[in-house]
Structure 1
């Protein structure tokens, strides 16, 4: 493992919401997705909300990346499903899913300071538990190979075997003194057998750690609380988020909360825990508002900010907790609400929408890095070509298919990313 590297910084790569964004309720165990099933969606508004979030983080942090929507509808999947008009609506909607917008599930990322060969390693998630997500990985891998194509700095792996469900960075945390220094990587997995699927398999996590060349002595494997999964925390990032020394977590996040803390502290003694008690914010309210599906970031002045959905400000218990936290002397100094309501209605908050990659920004394909001019370009392209509204009856129509395909092509053309056309 390398020493601290000042050229390395954490870059959040947000997923641009795709033009087929819809509410088909395909994700079992995702309470928000299920509760909005059949509602009309607003892809243009959703994508513009995402760009506004990225603009805020660019201003706040000085660096921001993005990943692109995948090709939809996925005609290969539609052909494989042998549609004849008798299939259920949910099955018919799968090839139209815009769920790749949640790039926390794109891959697991191990930065260069943690790996044996000193490169940043990325393993695309296989997302095998859900059909509408399992279709993503070939196109995701292809995009990662373009965005992180510098082989001197990055290695992009194949997915974990489909026997082992892997949902990527949403179940992965990293603790470190600074992003450019060696870290401790924490993998959170679920046990099968509950009411809802436990999407992260322990063996997938262990395979990724080995593949990335991580030091076993600096890896921690923790079981997620089955009760949290039952309550709708389908990924660990719905109940916990980490940044540098800090773990911000609900008191019911892990199967054995005390043992989880002890395991991390055993290899990272500097750990600072900010635990939200259940009697102040219930697990149900934490999941409803996505308090923990937040971006916990270090700002240029060294202070930490928690970027939360607007829904947190609208919850009396959650906002009272946040105000009390800020009035204290804890490590989190700012709480910043953002409007991502279209994503939230489908079960994805600010953390779902981003993949954290620690690297030298100069090593990334510049077409995937945001600046103000590019944000303007994205907004103009989205406003001109994205559908304003998609109703459930629109899914499967030729008219919508043409609109969705054209919108994505216009986005790629505007960015000059022809390899992914």
Structure 2
């Protein structure tokens, strides 16, 4: 199936009011190195909105996914804390600050981990398929999939165009990290493509060279995802353990793909020459040959600069551009690689944006967005409240400016007044996005 009206829409995660630096993500070097610092949720959310506005200015459809709520009082109750919400917060802060940090994480902002998405051109029923990621490898992220599924089901509600699956079984064998380990090669967004699943380990066949840091995506989960989405063309690649141990906890830290173009670090995959040959062979029946641009820069520079955790996007005129963090511009080796991509015609423009609040927790431009390729009819069926316009961005900026704090510590999170403030903020955000009764606390109040 080919749909010439198909465009890719980026759904960015709006940074939530609990954005903090708790250092919860083992294997994420930026997260670990900023543990305990004071965060600025207001600046983080405003930086994200500026990125969304830049995509709109480039003529690329832009959506938003609302933040998750927190601290998650319901989880603390399930873990044995009792009393009023205020009592529970203060008890958790005194008894186990690490637990409070885990139930207060704003990590849902990185919507590249929200789900795996297969466009209609690839699926057996010609619908866009979503499977929320179970994120089982990290305790704080394993709390997300239920609300993520609720959000996706509210936004992509029309079952003539969309299918939202349940998350995979919450079993370590099926560790699934979403689109951060999933790529798609195609001639254009509306034509059938080759979906490329990248895994860190085979859960049922451990190897001597498995990485020291968590290899979060399993081969077994990739197979189940391809089956659930009804894919006829899927390819499975193992991420290089050396890349994971260097800080590439997801493949999108060392590789980015758009249409027929793959940009990747030389250590992203174990056998890069064989990988390129295999993908070229697999794409031949689809009528195109992929373009590869391999970088030989130090892996430490790639991880620190997040040059591959950039958005590689198709512009309306048919060219490609990269949306990069300013850290890439400040790293000579990474900047030289981007300049070579411009010189060689792989991309036609590079936009450097300040996303330092997100970057300090290990999330760059690509982490902040979920890519959804859709035809015009499907795009028209998306819940209009989350489709970004300049006016909608201005309204969200107003909520952020009026409600978000400009400094946050774990002690602040344990303050009952903070919980009240967060819930008032989420009420305001869900009103702007026309998503009433989205959160459990809103349902309880109703």
| TM-score normalised by length of structure 2 | 0.90
Instruction: Provide, for residues 28-77 of structure 1, a one-character-per-residue CA deviation record: whole Å limited to 9, x for no partner.
Output: 10000000000000001100000000000011034101100012111122
CA distance in 2 between partners of 1:275 and 1:321 (Å): 9
Task: Answer whether contact 1:296 1:305 (CA < 8 A) is retained.
Answer: yes
**Structure 2 residue corresponding to 1:260, chosen from 275, 279, 283:** 275
> 1:419: how far off?
3.6
Equivalent positions of 1:21-36 (< 5 A) are: 21-36=19-34
Equivalent positions of 1:191-340 (< 5 A) are: 191=201, 193-215=210-232, 218-269=233-284, 270-277=289-296, 281-327=297-343, 329-340=344-355
Range that drifts further, 113-122 or 405-414 = 405-414
CA distance in 1 between partners of 2:163 and 2:338 (Å): 39
> 1:87: how far off?
4.3
Match of 2:356 in 1: 341
Task: Answer whether contact 2:9 2:60 (CA < 8 A) is retained.
Answer: no
Task: Answer whether contact 1:93 1:396 (CA < 8 A) is retained.
Answer: no
Match of 1:173 in 2: 183
Where does structure 2 lack aligned partners over 5 or more consecutive residues? 82-90, 440-446
CA distance in 2 between partners of 1:28 and 1:226 (Å): 15
> 1:228: how far off?
0.4
> 1:211: how far off?
0.4
**Structure 1 residue corresponding to 2:71, chosen from 67, 73, 79:** 73
CA distance in 2 between partners of 1:322 and 1:6 (Å): 30
**Structure 1 residue corresponding to 2:126, chosen from 112, 118, 121:** 118
> 1:395: how far off?
2.4
Match of 1:160 in 2: 168
**Pair 1:88–1:258, CA change in 2 (3 A):** farther
Instruction: Provide, for residues 252-295 of structure 1, a one-character-per-residue CA deviation record: whole Å limited to 9, x for no partner.
Output: 00122222222211111411001111xxx211110001000000
> 1:318: how far off?
1.3
2:98 is paired with a residue of what secondary structure? Answer: helix
Match of 1:93 in 2: 101
CA distance in 1 between partners of 2:59 and 2:139 (Å): 36
2:103 is paired with a residue of what secondary structure? Answer: helix
Matched, 1:143 2:151: yes
Instruction: Provide, for residues 106-161 of structure 1, a one-character-per-residue CA deviation record: whole Å limited to 9, x for no partner.
Output: 00000000001100000000001111000000000000001000100000001111
Match of 2:372 in 1: 357
1:143 is paired with a residue of what secondary structure? Answer: helix
1:12 is paired with a residue of what secondary structure? Answer: strand
RMSD: 1.3
Task: Answer whether contact 1:66 1:370 (CA < 8 A) is retained.
Answer: yes
> 1:392: how far off?
2.9
1:96 is paired with a residue of what secondary structure? Answer: coil
Matched, 1:372 2:382: no
Where does structure 1 lack aligned partners over 5 or more consecutive residues? none
CA distance in 1 between partners of 2:415 and 2:315 (Å): 45
CA distance in 1 between partners of 2:413 and 2:175 (Å): 28
Instruction: Provide, for residues 167-214 of structure 1, a one-character-per-residue CA deviation record: whole Å limited to 9, x for no partner.
Output: 000000001111011110000000264321101011101100000000
Match of 1:398 in 2: 416
CA distance in 2 between partners of 1:325 and 1:78 (Å): 49
| TM-score normalised by length of structure 1 | 0.96
Residue correspondences, number: 413
CA distance in 2 between partners of 1:228 and 1:90 (Å): 28
Instruction: Provide, for residues 319-377 of structure 1, a one-character-per-residue CA deviation record: whole Å limited to 9, x for no partner.
Output: 122223322x3321212111111000000000000000011320211111000110110
Matched, 1:189 2:199: yes
Task: Answer whether contact 2:266 2:294 (CA < 8 A) is retained.
Answer: yes
CA distance in 1 between partners of 2:195 and 2:307 (Å): 22
> 1:88: how far off?
4.0
CA distance in 2 between partners of 1:162 and 1:198 (Å): 16
Match of 1:103 in 2: 111
